[in-house]
Amino acid sequence: MTSFLFHRFWQSALVLVVMSFVVYSLIGLMPGDPVDLMITADPKITPEDAARLRELYGLDRPIFERYVNWLGAALSGDFGYSRLYARPVLEVLGPAIVNTVTLLGLSLLLALMIALPAGIAAAYRPYSRLDYSINMIAFAGISVPPFWLALMLIIGFAVILGILPAGGLGTGGDGGIWDNARYLVLPVASLTIASIGGHTRYMRASMIETLRQDYIRTARATGASEMRVVFGHALRNALIPVVTIIALDFGYLFSGALITETIFAWPGMGRLIFDSIMGNDFNLALVALLLATVLTLIGNFLADIAYVWLDPRVSFREADS
């Protein structure tokens, strides 16, 4: 177990290092550089000054050398300053992470609470009318553009009904829990709806497969109640592939967060990534992107652990291949 975790850890670390170099290079390929931005701010800078500044900041160096310098500083805890917020990058990111984790955690929980029972119900009687309807809804959920869904929710609940705020994070009002929670309703709802469809279909497919196994027939033959057959015997095995797929979808969830946060003006990581890329805030964009990668890798890592925990037949070595 330890050796597996160890192996997995180093593999993730390697992905992260490669990714950090790729992202660093990509950001270097974005329009302009920090000195260009200074020139825009102060037109009196002469070309000679600009060249001297580039030398000072090491911008005339090869990309790999700059990357190594950045990595060295980053490893000692110095991630630089955010241009947009004029504060150290980590200070900007801290609250954003909390906001994003709240948003993603709540919607993942809600989506699973709806999708797993729906998938099980559909799988219990395949081809029934209930199965058919659940499947249709799931297909619709997969196919709806998430940002459009968010816009429709805003139009419905904020513009027409006027009962929920269109975006932002609770600041006005009485500051009570309900007042703050109102700002979460629409973003969480749109993220939840966007992910229910996929989860339901995974759960359904896996449950149908499991219910066809011999050991389920044996369980029924011993006279176990249907409740016990489905939830006591089948569920645990049926969950195995579902858990893996959901954890692998973590990156997808992050994409959803980016869209949702941008539309609802929710001050989280997704919106920060978008704003920093659009606003040429190189330091912030770099760290925020890498943090998103780290969170995704942690999700995958947890999936591996859950996989083995749910299915003792799988040795850790197998789970790795």
Distance CA 254, CA 295 (A): 9
Helix (H, G, I), strand (E, B) or coil at 87: strand
Closer to another protein by CB, 68 or 142: give it.
142
Q: What are the residues facing 87 on neighbouring strands?
A: 82
Give the closest residue to 127 by CA, choosing from 248, 208, 42, 232: 208
Distance CA 4, CA 298 (A): 15
Closer to another protein by CB, 194 or 308: give it.
194
DSSP 243-275: HHHHHHTHHHHHHHHHHHHHHTT--SHHHHHHH
The site for another protein (CB under 8 A) is made up of 11, 15, 18-19, 23, 26-32, 123, 126-127, 131-132, 135, 139-140, 142-149, 151-152, 154-155, 159-160, 205, 208-209, 212, 248, 251-252, 254-255, 258-259, 262-263, 270, 273-274, 277-278, 285, 288-289, 292-293, 295-297, 300
Residue 265 burial (CB count, 10 A): 14
Minimum separation from the CB atom of position 256 to another protein (A) = 8
Contact (Cβ atoms closer than 8 angstroms) between residue 302 and residue 5 = no
3-state SS, 182-232, equals: HHHHHHHHHHHHHHHHHHHHHHHHHHHHHHCCHHHHHHHHCCCCHHHHHHH
Closer to another protein by CB, 40 or 225: give it.
40
Closer to another protein by CB, 29 or 41: give it.
29
Minimum separation from the CB atom of position 146 to another protein (A) = 7
Minimum separation from the CB atom of position 178 to another protein (A) = 25
Minimum separation from the CB atom of position 137 to another protein (A) = 11
Minimum separation from the CB atom of position 122 to another protein (A) = 9
Minimum separation from the CB atom of position 190 to another protein (A) = 13
Residues whose CB falls within 8 Å of the CB of residue 54, separated by 6 or more in sequence, listed in order: 33, 35, 60
Residues whose CB falls within 8 Å of the CB of residue 30, separated by 6 or more in sequence, listed in order: 277, 280, 282
Closer to another protein by CB, 109 or 136: give it.
136
Closer to another protein by CB, 102 or 255: give it.
255
Minimum separation from the CB atom of position 267 to another protein (A) = 16
Minimum separation from the CB atom of position 109 to another protein (A) = 20
Distance CA 253, CA 270 (A): 10
Closer to another protein by CB, 33 or 179: give it.
33
Closer to another protein by CB, 257 or 308: give it.
257
Give the closest residue to 123 by CA, choosing from 15, 200, 185: 200
